[in-house]
Chains A and B, each alone.
Chain A
Amino acid sequence: MMFSAELKKGSTEMLVLSLIEERPRHGYEIGKLIEQRSGGRLKFALPTLYPTLLRLENRGWIKGRWVEKAGERERCYYRLTPEGRRVLEEQQKTWIAYVAAVNDVMGGSRA
């Protein structure tokens, strides 16, 4: 099942933020992780994902740093800033509340 761009748009930022919550990741990795963890149901193409990273960085929520890891090429790794962490928590709370509300409404109608 694929989701429309409209639907995905609202959640892209939160997905990116949450993926780098545990550890810094580079752009390609973020895209691939979204695809993997959603079992292929969510795909964010590079042209969508990259401007998002720039935007988040410009807001001061994430910070990119060029790192060369052993045996790998140099890549830009993004990590969450304290500000980003706060925003993520808020977004997650809102999202969970929103999904619960949507479920309640839909569950209610089905019941």
Chain B
Amino acid sequence: MRNWEAFVRSRLQLPAHAPMREARIIRELAAQLEDFYREAIARGLSESEADAYACEQIRDWRKLGRDVANADRENTQPRMERIADTVTGLGQTRGGGMKMLADFLGDMRHAARQFIKTPAFTIVAILTLSLGIGATSAIFSVVEAVLLRPLPYPEADRLVRVHEIVPQYGLFAVAPATFLDWRQQNSVFEYIAAYNAGNTTIAGTEGPERVPSASVSWDLFELLKVKPLLGRTFTVEEGTPVKQTVAIISYGAWQRRFGGDRAVLERPVTLNGTSSTIVGVMPPGFYFPSRTTEIWTPLAFKPADAPRGAHFIGVIARTKAGISLETANTEMKTITERLGVQYPEQSANESAKVVLLLENIVGDIRPMLLTLLAAVGVVVLIACANVANLLLVRASVREKEIAIRAALGAGGRRLGLQMLAESVVLALAGGAFGLLFAYLAVPAIKTLSAASIPRIADLSIDLTVVGFVAGISLLTGLIFGLAPAWHASRATLGHVLKEGARTSGGAGGRWVRNTLLVAEVGLSIVLLVGATLLLRSFAKLTSVDPGFHPERVLTFQVSPPNTAYPEPHNRAAFFSRLLEEFDALPGVRSTGMVQTLPMRGDYVLSVTFQGRPAPPPNTEPSANYRVVSPKYFDALGIPLLRGRVFNDRDMDTSPQVAVVDQAFVDRHFPDENPLGHRIDIGNGGTGFTEIVGVVGSVHYEGLETNPRPTMYVPYRQDIFSSMWIMARTDGDPVGLAASVRQALRKVDPAVPAFRVGPLTDAVTESVAERRFSMLLLTLFAGIAVFLAAVGLYGVVAYTVTQRTQEIGIRMAIGARPANVLRMVVGDGLKLATIGVVCGIAAALALARVIESMLFNVTPFDAASYGATALVLLAVAALACYMPARRAMRVDPLVALRQE
């Protein structure tokens, strides 16, 4: 025997009934049908005959539904309201607004039940929405964490960064003497402090380790208004250049290195070979200037001999309450320009700029993030258009239900609100899934953008994001619910009850649906054009020859402590031995050395030429300055173009020599042979240096900019305390890390190798921001096109259903399937073409927005636009073809018999 309740439930439509009441009616009807069935069995009929007999008892289920609804009117609307009241606890106070809210909540419940009954529709709609809302939430969470969230210091909106502006270089690090003058002369800052980020070798039980550190002005922590968790911060005395043997450590370092032992205070540790005392531990979550900084030591300058020409410290300040950024800027500019007049030799024409600290950190990334946010906004709009169309189609299928509601006395306004309640239910469900998507996307975003977006480590789905998602969900619900609600509100009894009258199927409905579709296609074109332009930019960028071969090169930094290697010749000997050891390692082809890593480091010095008139101070040309070992060029595959590279005879005692690159020659010796010319590097009074060779240009600042002129000098003639080793290997460079460490230990077990990694990482990181924006925009464009295709498919498929009869007639009078195919696909493509044209126009209008994100591609790149249009039309053709095939198979007889 069949399950009669299921049988009745699947046939009887009681949309206006509360679920309890509906269940009772279904149960009773089922019981009676079962009685009929049993009676037939008792009469001796077979099971199938009895089943047919029982089924026959109710022939017109729709009429029964209407009759039941009419007879049971008391239990439809009023009951709904009663349920809503109990849900909201508003039973006693049913004023106008409250009543409306109660109704709306009741409607939402009802809508949820309706959606459960039509799972296919519901899944498509919710999936569409959650894609849009999920993408938006993910990007918003990035915007919130990076751009909107204040820095983790009290009253962070008063924290600023102060830059020096140096004529040749623009915004620049600050010279210590200038900082001391600023500190003395300014009246706008409550505090002003300097810092110098670097690395410190800490002697541990497992050998020496190099950790990120910073030397900071003694009052930096007061400036940031952060108190230590344990111990104290620095004292004024420690801020004077006496013997500095104190340090403050981060909470992380305290936990990891000292097991959170409170006895760490006043305990001696060996930092850079010097015994120091830990005087304080900062609280968890505190960081400055970078998240990885573990150790802070005092930074102090003797006013008498603080350098004014060497710019290497960072300066931050806290403005006094009530001092605006403009005021601070004006005063700092005035002071610095006065210093330029006072010290024309070192500071001529210098100026200063004050920037909010947050802005300083995230300002560069803002346009990219806002562009992405706009892009996901477009995706949400497309999702809205799609769901609005789905709802409109659904509404036209549900006319009978709407008719019954109208018959039961629901006014247009009430029906409109009911439809709106459905939209809101859908949107909230979409929002919930969207939030889930965003939550799942967070780790991926963090990984993808770790190198390119500052503060991304703070990314999390917090309450602000949840609130945003709730808001955007409600908003989308209202947006895509408007069209269906408007339709329903126009439903009048006679209008909808008329057999065959189709509200949404009529001309007005078709116009709304088509407009939505055109908008959808247009919006996805805009995104697709943007993505294509970024893709092309990225392809062009990554095909730029960096000027060296980063493949199979292992890089790491080595810093012998000044205590053990006090003199330049000590250090030079150390590095010389090191290079020998590395060169001897099996698997290493050649080992080079340089003081800054390509694509990451920056080291620029001014240059003047012997025999040419000296330019005024601070207007000298500048060039990259690289201190290298002889085999550096070989290890990185930088070609020698003229003359020679360095060799082991270029010692500190031999004549000073330099190698320059082609960009340097192009700039300064366009029509001359540079070999034999003598240059003065860094204005440092070390005499002139002879150019002995020319090598290929290298993109040291990244692939986007033209190579800056570069000069190389042998490391024995200007040894640095910290050098990068570059070992070209035969196989996987990272596999050699262990043997490299072992070789280093042979030379000096107290010196660690740190920041070990392949050189390719540096190149990859230099394009990471572009990769991030390109990948995301491509993903969003993909979603957009997919949604547009689904939307087009839905509308065309619906039109085919609506026009079955017409198609049947056409075929009956001789139209061939091919004609039908052409007609259906043609109609769909007409819409798509209008959308493409509108979209291209909009994309052209908006192109300037992403101009700054492009590389070697104009925002009006014809190929990108053409390809985009073609792709979209092809997708549209496919979306139309599927329903068109169904139209081709329409049987004229069946079609004509319909209705």
Which residues from chain A contact B72 at a C-beta distance below 8 Å? 51, 54-55, 58
Which residues from chain B contact A47 at a C-beta distance below 8 Å? 57-60, 63-64, 67
A32 and B74 CA atoms in complex are apart in Å by 28
Within 8 A of B (CB), among A42-99: 45-47, 50-52, 54-55, 58, 64, 73-76
Number of B positions contacting A (CB below 8 A): 25
The interface size bin for chain A is: 10 to 19
With an 8 A cutoff between CB atoms, is B567 at the interface? Answer: no
How close is B14's CB to chain A, nearest CB, in angstroms? 11
Which residues from chain B contact A28 at a C-beta distance below 8 Å? 31-32, 35-36
CB-nearest residue of chain B to A48: B67
Within 8 A of A (CB), among B7-51: 25, 27-29, 31-36, 39
Q: Is B32's CB under 8 angstroms from A27's CB? A: yes
A32 and B64 CA atoms in complex are apart in Å by 20
With an 8 A cutoff between CB atoms, is B257 at the interface? Answer: no
How close is B71's CB to chain A, nearest CB, in angstroms? 4
With an 8 A cutoff between CB atoms, is B394 at the interface? Answer: no
Which residues from chain B contact A26 at a C-beta distance below 8 Å? 31-32, 35
**Chain B contact surface mostly:** helix
Which residues from chain B contact A74 at a C-beta distance below 8 Å? 31
Which residues from chain B contact A64 at a C-beta distance below 8 Å? 28
With an 8 A cutoff between CB atoms, is B70 at the interface? Answer: yes
With an 8 A cutoff between CB atoms, is B75 at the interface? Answer: yes
CB-nearest residue of chain A to B68: A51
Which residues from chain A contact B36 at a C-beta distance below 8 Å? 28, 46
When A58-B74, A58-B75 are in contact, do A50 and B32 touch as well, CB less than 8 Å? yes
How close is A104's CB to chain B, nearest CB, in angstroms? 35
With an 8 A cutoff between CB atoms, is B73 at the interface? Answer: yes
Q: Is A51's CB under 8 angstroms from B67's CB? A: yes
Which residues from chain A contact B67 at a C-beta distance below 8 Å? 47, 51
A73 in complex: contacting residue of B29, B34, B73, CB < 8 Å: B34
A47 and B58 CA atoms in complex are apart in Å by 6
A32 and B31 CA atoms in complex are apart in Å by 14
Which residues from chain B contact A45 at a C-beta distance below 8 Å? 57
A98 and B666 CA atoms in complex are apart in Å by 120
CB-nearest residue of chain B to A49: B32
A74 and B24 CA atoms in complex are apart in Å by 12
Which residues from chain A contact B59 at a C-beta distance below 8 Å? 47
Which residues from chain B contact A76 at a C-beta distance below 8 Å? 27-28, 31
A50 and B67 CA atoms in complex are apart in Å by 9
Which residues from chain A contact B29 at a C-beta distance below 8 Å? 46, 50
Which residues from chain A contact B64 at a C-beta distance below 8 Å? 47, 50-51
CB-nearest residue of chain A to B28: A76
A86 and B72 CA atoms in complex are apart in Å by 22
Q: Is B31's CB under 8 angstroms from A58's CB? A: no
Q: Is B70's CB under 8 angstroms from A51's CB? A: yes
Q: Is A50's CB under 8 angstroms from B68's CB? A: yes
Q: Is A50's CB under 8 angstroms from B75's CB? A: no
A97 and B268 CA atoms in complex are apart in Å by 118
Q: Is A55's CB under 8 angstroms from B71's CB? A: yes
Q: Is A58's CB under 8 angstroms from B71's CB? A: yes
B57 in complex: contacting residue of A46, A52, A54, A73, CB < 8 Å: A46
Which residues from chain A contact B32 at a C-beta distance below 8 Å? 26-28, 31, 46, 50
When A45-B57, A47-B58 are in contact, do A54 and B68 touch as well, CB less than 8 Å? yes
Which residues from chain B contact A54 at a C-beta distance below 8 Å? 25, 68, 71-72
A55 and B25 CA atoms in complex are apart in Å by 12
Q: Is B34's CB under 8 angstroms from A52's CB? A: no
A47 and B33 CA atoms in complex are apart in Å by 11
The proximity string for A residues 6-49 relative to B, scoring 1 for CB distances below 8 Å and 0 otherwise, is 00000000000000000000111001100000000000011100
A89 and B549 CA atoms in complex are apart in Å by 107
Which residues from chain B contact A27 at a C-beta distance below 8 Å? 28, 31-32
A74 and B75 CA atoms in complex are apart in Å by 23
Q: Is B35's CB under 8 angstroms from A52's CB? A: no
A54 and B58 CA atoms in complex are apart in Å by 17
Which residues from chain A contact B73 at a C-beta distance below 8 Å? 58
Which residues from chain B contact A73 at a C-beta distance below 8 Å? 31, 34
Which residues from chain A contact B60 at a C-beta distance below 8 Å? 47
A52 and B72 CA atoms in complex are apart in Å by 9
A31 and B28 CA atoms in complex are apart in Å by 14
CB-nearest residue of chain B to A29: B35
When A27-B32, A28-B35, A73-B31 are in contact, do A46 and B58 touch as well, CB less than 8 Å? yes
Which residues from chain A contact B35 at a C-beta distance below 8 Å? 26, 28
How close is B408's CB to chain A, nearest CB, in angstroms? 14
CB-nearest residue of chain B to A58: B74
How close is A100's CB to chain B, nearest CB, in angstroms? 31
Q: From B32, B39, B75, name the one whose CB has the most chain A CB atoms within 10 angstroms.
A: B32
Q: From B63, B67, B75, name the one whose CB has the most chain A CB atoms within 10 angstroms.
A: B67
A50 and B32 CA atoms in complex are apart in Å by 10
Which residues from chain A contact B70 at a C-beta distance below 8 Å? 51
A27 and B35 CA atoms in complex are apart in Å by 10
Within 8 A of A (CB), among B42-91: 57-60, 63-64, 67-68, 70-75
When A28-B36, A46-B58, A54-B25 are in contact, do A75 and B31 touch as well, CB less than 8 Å? yes
Q: Is B71's CB under 8 angstroms from A51's CB? A: yes
CB-nearest residue of chain B to A46: B57
A80 and B709 CA atoms in complex are apart in Å by 105
CB-nearest residue of chain A to B73: A58
A31 and B54 CA atoms in complex are apart in Å by 14
Which residues from chain A contact B75 at a C-beta distance below 8 Å? 58
A43 and B225 CA atoms in complex are apart in Å by 91
Within 8 A of A (CB), among B83-132: none
A27 and B58 CA atoms in complex are apart in Å by 14
How close is A60's CB to chain B, nearest CB, in angstroms? 10
Which residues from chain A contact B33 at a C-beta distance below 8 Å? 46
CB-nearest residue of chain A to B64: A47
Which residues from chain B contact A55 at a C-beta distance below 8 Å? 71-72
How close is A10's CB to chain B, nearest CB, in angstroms? 16
CB-nearest residue of chain A to B74: A58
A107 and B774 CA atoms in complex are apart in Å by 98
How close is B73's CB to chain A, nearest CB, in angstroms? 7
A26 and B38 CA atoms in complex are apart in Å by 15
A55 and B70 CA atoms in complex are apart in Å by 8
Which residues from chain A contact B57 at a C-beta distance below 8 Å? 45-47
A26 and B60 CA atoms in complex are apart in Å by 23
CB-nearest residue of chain B to A32: B39
A87 and B73 CA atoms in complex are apart in Å by 21
CB-nearest residue of chain A to B54: A46
A26 and B36 CA atoms in complex are apart in Å by 13
Which residues from chain A contact B58 at a C-beta distance below 8 Å? 46-47
A22 and B762 CA atoms in complex are apart in Å by 96
CB-nearest residue of chain A to B21: A54
Which residues from chain A contact B74 at a C-beta distance below 8 Å? 58
A54 and B70 CA atoms in complex are apart in Å by 10
Which residues from chain A contact B68 at a C-beta distance below 8 Å? 50-51, 54
A53 and B678 CA atoms in complex are apart in Å by 112
CB-nearest residue of chain B to A50: B29
The proximity string for B residues 764-794 relative to A, scoring 1 for CB distances below 8 Å and 0 otherwise, is 0000000000000000000000000000000
When A28-B36, A45-B57, A47-B60 are in contact, do A52 and B71 touch as well, CB less than 8 Å? yes
CB-nearest residue of chain B to A64: B28
> Which of B's residues lie within 8 Å of A, judged by CB?
25, 27-29, 31-36, 39, 57-60, 63-64, 67-68, 70-75
Which 5 pairs show the lowest CB-CB distances between chains A and B? Answer: A28-B35, A51-B71, A55-B71, A51-B67, A54-B71
- Apart from A28-B36, A58-B75, 18 more pairs, CB < 8 Å: A26-B31, A26-B32, A27-B28, A27-B31, A28-B32, A32-B39, A46-B57, A47-B57, A47-B63, A51-B67, A52-B71, A54-B25, A54-B71, A58-B73, A74-B31, A75-B31, A76-B28, A76-B31
27 A-B pairs (CB sep. < 8 Å): A26-B31, A26-B32, A26-B35, A27-B28, A27-B31, A27-B32, A28-B36, A45-B57, A46-B36, A46-B57, A46-B58, A47-B57, A50-B28, A50-B32, A50-B64, A51-B70, A51-B72, A55-B72, A58-B72, A58-B73, A58-B74, A58-B75, A64-B28, A73-B31, A74-B31, A75-B31, A76-B31
